[in-house]
Homo-oligomer: A and B are copies of this chain.
């Protein structure tokens, strides 16, 4: 690889002069500038960003940590983040924690040793506290997206899970459902708690008592909750609707129900959080509380970059994005 010194030698100037031409700093005569430019082109010179990082203490790399790269919510978010990062001249390093705190820890270590300028962080759960504290201790700016972590103070971009859950539940109740089951993410994840709260709130407002038997916690990862559904559907007072706390869970539920010979929404209605991406384009089926995923990413990135540049006010900002209830075919009145 050719270096700044090769260019300097070729152009008959000092390395510093080349550096000045590259960064457009200092005073350089047009003649010298041209000479250097030509030398750079002839040698196909490309600046070594890593070497630069070492002295200016800035890598121009940001890191995005998400919990599932196959979930359309997060890929759309990633796109928002990437677009924003690029716009401000940053590169992006991705990481995938898989909702797993151990993987998340590994990733945080990688991030620290890469000396990235900042992290856009979708925490795997409350246990992410340690990891975020580690970032803070090393003065790495970060912004949390999608989920809060108790004990962590920072800029955040969140969805209003509670309201979304309430809307979905109210929708089911208004259709006439009285026995609604909830399949939820881990209670170690803030959105799962909020969705639970919104769910219960809506039930109580309608004078319904939440039934502990109809509430389960399986985590957000894609699964097929066969046993759970068999148990539910074997109850004397079996549910007529299921509220799945995310898209993957809804899909698992629907597949299991169909395998059990039950159809959606005739036998059981299903609603969930987050849209499904392409699916909703041609076969809009699931009733969902859709979140503006792209905005989560772009807005989060913007907060992060402002923080890095020191343009942000000292107090932390929290952006809350509202979900939108989209009623589709998967929810219908219960069979009387």
Contacts and interface: CB of A to CB of B under 8 A. Distances in A.
A79 interface: yes
Contact of A276 (B53, B137, B250, B278): B278
A247 B278 contact: yes
A47 B110 CA distance: 10
A213 interface: no
Interface of A: 1, 44, 46-51, 53-54, 59, 61, 69-70, 72, 75-76, 78-79, 82, 91-96, 109-110, 112-115, 137-139, 247-248, 250-251, 254-255, 276-279, 281-283, 285-286
B50 A54 contact: yes
Contacts of A59: 50
Contact of A114 (B1, B49, B69, B82): B49
22 contacts: A46-B109, A46-B113, A47-B113, A48-B54, A48-B113, A50-B53, A61-B114, A69-B79, A69-B82, A72-B277, A78-B94, A82-B94, A91-B93, A91-B114, A92-B95, A248-B278, A251-B282, A255-B282, A277-B278, A277-B279, A279-B283, A283-B285
Contacts of A283: 279, 283, 285
Contact of A115 (B50, B78, B114, B286): B50
A92 B111 CA distance: 11
